[in-house]
């Protein structure tokens, strides 16, 4: 009896581990099947997240259209994808030169994208520009450039490809945004403004296209960190702001976000936040206790923290 009791716990843990492993494998295969043979357009495919999405979707059998503003880097990505995937189970990616800061060319690029396969099943709006600094130090020209890349560029491309989805009554548009589309933090005026704007656009669009069976999804990480691990420097003193911001600044790895994008497409989810509990709580604090939130944010400006940039 005692031996049986002793063995129960290890056997139970082993069984749970086995079930979790099977679930993860089934979920991974199911996610890949959701994009198999689908035409997937990825903007800024040469960024860290763009590369991971490209790798994941290519392995899943998607017909990729990779967009970026640097042709040489697109070709490097193209070669990398072909070298690691089974050519009998994948499609050769199409490359399209796209610079969202040049709004005048987006319509022509959209036509080029549609000419690749004749349709678009999934559009992943991943391109973004970041900037950090006091509002008075950011020129109006830079404000406009950020709005072009983070707002006008993506919505122009979306509007150009949307009629194809509506006419076919199928499609999904994924916006990779940022948690700052929900609230702003110091020294990010232009960036946060652009993220608020595009969040509002896609929230409205989601309701407008639902009757056409077009899904609109938004992914909101805190920020997308680089491949190297961020390590803190300096001494952190005890304060509400420093505790809040220390938790806020741990970003999400591109691999994790790419996998979440794949899950969102499979599940057709509308909105996902990828963050630790502190930034998620900040959204609700901003909504229900705005004065407290603004006081904490103001302390951050006074202490002049040096934090990593957002995507």
State the average pLDDT for the chain.
Answer: 84
- Report which DSSP code applies to 152: I
pTM of the model: 0.80
Active site residue 78: no
- Residues 96 and 105: their CA atoms lie apart, in Å, by 12
Every domain of the chain and the residues it spans: 27-228+252-276
Q: Quote the strand ranges of 44-117, DSSP E.
A: 63-68, 94-97
Percent of the chain with pLDDT over 90: 58
11-60 pLDDT, tens per residue? 666 667 666 556 454 455 544 568 999 999 999 999 999 999 999 999 99
Domain 27-228+252-276: CATH superfamily is: NAD(P)-binding Rossmann-like Domain (3.40.50.720)
Alpha-carbon distances, residue 93 vs 96, 146, 161, 257 (angstroms):
10, 29, 19, 21
243-253 pLDDT, tens per residue? 444 444 557 88
DSSP string, 233-295: -SPPPP-HHHHHHHHHT--B-HHHHHHHHHHHHHHT-SEEEES-HHHHHHHHHHHH-HHHHHH
The number of beta carbons lying within 10 Å of the beta carbon of residue 62 is: 27
Given 23, 117, 191, 227, which residue is catalytic? 191
pLDDT of residue 120: 97
Between the CA atoms of 19, 29, 212 and 258, what dihedral angle is there, to the nearest 10 degrees? 90
DSSP lists the bridge partners of residue 94 as 65
For residue 292, is pLDDT > 70? yes
- Please provide the size of the chain in residues: 311
């Amino acid at each position: 009896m005692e031996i049986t009791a002793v063995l129960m716990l290890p056997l139970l843990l082993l069984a749970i581990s086995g079930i979790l492993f099977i679930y993860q494998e089934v979920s991974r295969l199911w996610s890949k099947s959701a994009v198999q043979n689908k035409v997937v357009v990825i903007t800024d495919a040469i960024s860290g997240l763009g590369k991971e999405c490209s790798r994941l979707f290519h392995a899943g059998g998607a017909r990729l259209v990779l967009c970026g503003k640097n042709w040489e880097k697109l070709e490097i990505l193209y070669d990398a994808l072909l070298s690691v995937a089974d050519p009998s189970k994948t499609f050769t990616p199409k490359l399209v030169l796209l610079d969202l800061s040049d709004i005048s060319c987006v319509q022509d690029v959209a036509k080029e994208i549609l000419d690749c396969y004749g349709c678009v099943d999934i559009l992943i709006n991943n391109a973004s520009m970041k900037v950090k600094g006091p509002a008075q130090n950011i020129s109006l020209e830079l404000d406009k450039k950020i709005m072009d890349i983070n707002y006008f560029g993506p919505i122009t491309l979306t509007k150009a490809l949307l009629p194809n989805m509506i006419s076919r009554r199928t499609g999904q548009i994924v916006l990779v945004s940022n948690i700052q589309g929900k609230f702003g933090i110091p020294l990010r005026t232009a960036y946060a403004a652009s993220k608020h704007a595009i969040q509002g656009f896609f929230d409205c669009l989601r309701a407008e296209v639902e009757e056409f069976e077009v899904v609109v999804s938004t992914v909101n990480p805190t920020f997308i960190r680089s491949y190297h691990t961020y390590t803190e420097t300096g001494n952190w003193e005890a304060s509400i702001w420093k505790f809040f911001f220390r938790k806020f600044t741990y970003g999400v790895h591109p691999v994790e976000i790419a996998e979440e994008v794949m899950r969102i497409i499979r599940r057709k989810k509308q909105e996902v936040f990828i963050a630790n509990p502190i930034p998620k709580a900040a959204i609700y604090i901003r909504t229900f206790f705005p004065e407290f939130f603004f006081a904490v944010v103001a302390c951050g400006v006074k202490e002049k923290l040096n934090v990593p940039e957002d995507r």
